[in-house]
Amino acid sequence: MELKGAETISAKPSAIVSLMRRRWQFLVLLGLIVCFPILIKTYFLTRVGIVLALFAINITGMTLLTRYAGVISLGHSAFFALGAYLSAILTVKVGLNPWLSMVVAGGTTVVCAYLFSVPFLRLRRAYLAMATLGLGEVAFLLAKDLTEITGGVSGIPGIPHLRFGRIVLSEDWQLFYLCGCFVILFVFLTENIGQTRLGRAYHAIRTNETAAKAMGIDVQWELSRLFCFSALVSALAGSLLAHFITFISPESFTIDFSFTLLIIVIIGGANIWGTLATAIVLIGFSEVFRGLQDLSMGFYGLLLIVSLFVFPEGLSAVLFPRGYTPRKISASDLEPVRFDLQNRMNRQKTVQNLQPREGKMLELRNISKNFGGTEALSQVSVSVDYNQILGIIGPNGAGKTTLLNVVNGFLTPREGRVVFQSTDVTNKTPHEMARLGLGRTFQLINLFKGMTVIENVMVGCHLRGRSGILMGGLNLGRPRYEETIIRNAAMRSLEFLELVDRAHDVVQNLPFGEQKLVELARALAMEPDLLLLDEPAAGLNAAETERLSGILRRIRERGITIVLVEHNMPLVMTLSDLVFVLDFGRAIALGTPEEVSRNKEVIRAYLGQEV
């Protein structure tokens, strides 16, 4: 576990090594693009190749949006159309340079996508899919009915070809190579983004949005900018289409286009290479057998149903299985971490001994919360000092988890105030609380399934990075440096909890007790000032509970304040400096473990009788 104020050491795995391991895939893609026009000399097949390239550009952004972040969009035909029509209108009717028109079209599309995302990305699953479906239909109707601007069903003819100086890209093979360059660029961006903190954040949002918020991920913002990125990619593909065929009409942007994109991405899975392979097969089949095009959507739908049964995680899960990497962490890899960790711990102890932190870490003042007619909390007040462990106990339904959710920002109290380190945080959101130094584990295990142990813990370090989509996609110095920081911090957290040997195992394959520790390691990787633990001993055997007790003591020794909700009374009474008791949402006792154990109200609440 990395401690406050400590410098970060370098990690051995580097982005360059990772890229080298994947280079053969880029080389294959590059070889296909270079050789295709040379080997395929027919007019028809060259144009099929351009169509494939345009679909490949589209699916890069859609792979991140749908397969990583879990956003089902049926409206990307709208952005595809917007890019095409804006480029056509600006070049044909305004006389703008084609390249400049593409830039304007892309910028306008991003603005439109953002305005759409602000209200509608708050929806989830089927509701969001229906909203995007409506967007696609509206775009199609506007293209058909705004005849003064779009030409209606007659379309816009005479769109000029793109050019580089005096070189006009009028030949199909020239357009193919241009589209191929964009394919390589966006595949490179997508592949790199999937390996960064943003890729992990998208996966976290898709698999467990609640835990993602607790790790400091601003879900709404991350989804909005990803949605805008995917819209920008589709708009670029639309612009290329307009300058390729030099004529556009509404029939090119029907809802079938969005369905086709979505089906390819779902069948392909959360890996751009699997999705590209799927696109080549399906689009190639559809274009070669154009006489059966009316049946293509039915064929795609049938194939989608079959694939969901055979490989629900997509073709990528078959081609690129995850987990249990052959190379485990060696002792030589961990030695620098152990040595550095011990030095940090010693320095931290010294600093704390010289300058002890005093005062209230957290204050809850007259907190009340109700759900409909049920009052879950009623005028609850309690505080915890720096470097203390506050145990919260009470019968089932007493309001303990509700109280933690109020502190964490998942619930807003009906009345009362939450003060964290002298700051009123009553209306803060979970990701804002994480930024302020609040870590959290949950009553039920909230891990990110499908990720390895170290990837789960690295999500806890999300706030250590600042690189956006473009920087992360280009894989330049800053995001690579951030990845080094994040991986080292995650490894130190695993080392602290003795989970290093499990670092590359898929998290859902671990025993229950170790999954609990992974969730704790993820919270510790955040370097919190205050740690909220909701029944961390639930489901653990005696040996695991004893191990947890030792871990919590060591965490407190490092200067982290703990609020512990637990039903294991021996654990609470042994560890806690103060014990707070709730019953039916009311505070009935606060004191040392000895005082609380003799309190008549507490005995009555637990035993149901006066003593």
Tens digit of pLDDT for each residue in 426-459? 999 999 999 999 999 998 899 999 899 999 999 9
19, pLDDT greater than 60: no
10, pLDDT greater than 90: no
7, pLDDT greater than 70: no
Per-residue pLDDT, averaged over 503-530, amounts to 94
Any idea which of 39-43, 205-209, 539-543 has the lowest mean pLDDT?
A: 39-43
Per-residue pLDDT band at 314 (split at 50, 70, 90): confident
Quick one: which of 396, 399, 429 has its CA closest to 412? 429
Chain centre to alpha carbon of residue 34: 35
| Alpha carbon distance 529, 197 (integer Å) | 22
Exposure string of 220-247, with b = 16+ CB inside 10 Å and e = fewer, is bebbbbbbbbbbbbbbbbbbbbbbbbee
201, pLDDT greater than 50: yes
Q: What is the pLDDT of residue 307?
A: 84
Per-residue pLDDT, averaged over 65-86, amounts to 93
| Topology annotation, domain 344-437+528-611 | Rossmann fold (3.40.50)
Whether the predicted model's global pTM rises above the 0.85 cut = yes
| Alpha carbon distance 328, 453 (integer Å) | 13
Per-residue pLDDT band at 373 (split at 50, 70, 90): confident
What is the three-state SS of 267-297?
A: HHCCCHHHHHHHHHHHHHHHHHCHHHHHHHH
Per-residue pLDDT, averaged over 527-532, amounts to 95
- For the chain, the residue count is 611
Per-residue pLDDT band at 22 (split at 50, 70, 90): low
The 10s digit of each residue's pLDDT in 238-259 is: 999 999 999 999 988 988 888 8
Q: What is the pLDDT of residue 337?
A: 40
CA distances 258 to 31, 35, 144, Å, are: 29, 30, 17
Per-residue pLDDT band at 477 (split at 50, 70, 90): confident
How many CB atoms lie under 10 A from the CB of residue 421? Answer: 18
Query: Where is pLDDT greater, at 297 or 8?
Result: 297
Q: What is the pLDDT of residue 271?
A: 86
| Alpha carbon distance 469, 475 (integer Å) | 10
**Element of type H or E holding 531:** strand 530-534
Residue 607 exposed, middle or buried by CB count within 10 Å (0-12, 13-18, 19+): exposed
Strand 156-157 and strand 360-371: the pairing is unpaired
CA distances 355 to 352, 358, 391, 493, Å, are: 5, 9, 25, 25
Strands annotated E in 90-179: 156-157, 163-164, 167-168
Exposure string of 56-82, with b = 16+ CB inside 10 Å and e = fewer, is bbbbbbbbbbbbbbbbbbbbbbbbbbb
Per-residue pLDDT, averaged over 390-401, amounts to 92
| Alpha carbon distance 213, 201 (integer Å) | 10
100, pLDDT greater than 70: yes
Residue 282 exposed, middle or buried by CB count within 10 Å (0-12, 13-18, 19+): buried
412: left (phi over 0), alpha (psi -120 to 50) or beta: beta
| Alpha carbon distance 84, 109 (integer Å) | 11
Q: Are 391 and 578 in contact (CB under 8 A)?
A: yes
Q: What is the pLDDT of residue 323?
A: 43
165, pLDDT greater than 60: yes
Q: What is the pLDDT of residue 349?
A: 39
Quick one: which of 516, 511, 517, 527 has its CA closest to 497? 517
Q: What is the pLDDT of residue 609?
A: 56
The 10s digit of each residue's pLDDT in 248-294 is: 999 889 888 888 899 999 998 888 888 998 998 888 777 766 655 56
| Alpha carbon distance 408, 425 (integer Å) | 9
The 10s digit of each residue's pLDDT in 112-124 is: 999 999 999 988 7
Q: Are 506 and 323 in contact (CB under 8 A)?
A: yes
Q: Are 268 and 274 in contact (CB under 8 A)?
A: yes
572, pLDDT greater than 70: yes
Residue ranges covered by each domain of the chain? 19-319, 344-437+528-611
Q: What is the pLDDT of residue 288?
A: 66
Chain centre to alpha carbon of residue 529: 24
Question: What distance, in Å, lies between the first and last C-alpha atoms of the chain?
Answer: 46
Q: What is the pLDDT of residue 294?
A: 61
Per-residue pLDDT, averaged over 370-378, amounts to 90
42, pLDDT greater than 50: yes
Residues of the chain with pLDDT > 90, as a percent, come to 66
Torsion sign across C-alpha atoms 98, 100, 103, 109? negative
Chain centre to alpha carbon of residue 384: 33
Q: What is the pLDDT of residue 289?
A: 67
Any idea which of 5-14, 21-30, 37-46, 497-506 has the lowest mean pLDDT?
A: 5-14
| Alpha carbon distance 311, 270 (integer Å) | 12
206, pLDDT greater than 70: yes
Give the mean pLDDT of the chain.
86
| Alpha carbon distance 152, 570 (integer Å) | 76
For the domain covering 19-319, report its CATH number: 1.10.3470
Q: What is the pLDDT of residue 281?
A: 87
Per-residue pLDDT band at 217 (split at 50, 70, 90): very high
Find the angle CA(570)-CA(574)-CA(580) to the nearest 5 degrees. 85
Extract the tokens encoding 559: 């200067």
- Alpha-carbon Rg for the chain, nearest whole angstrom, is 28
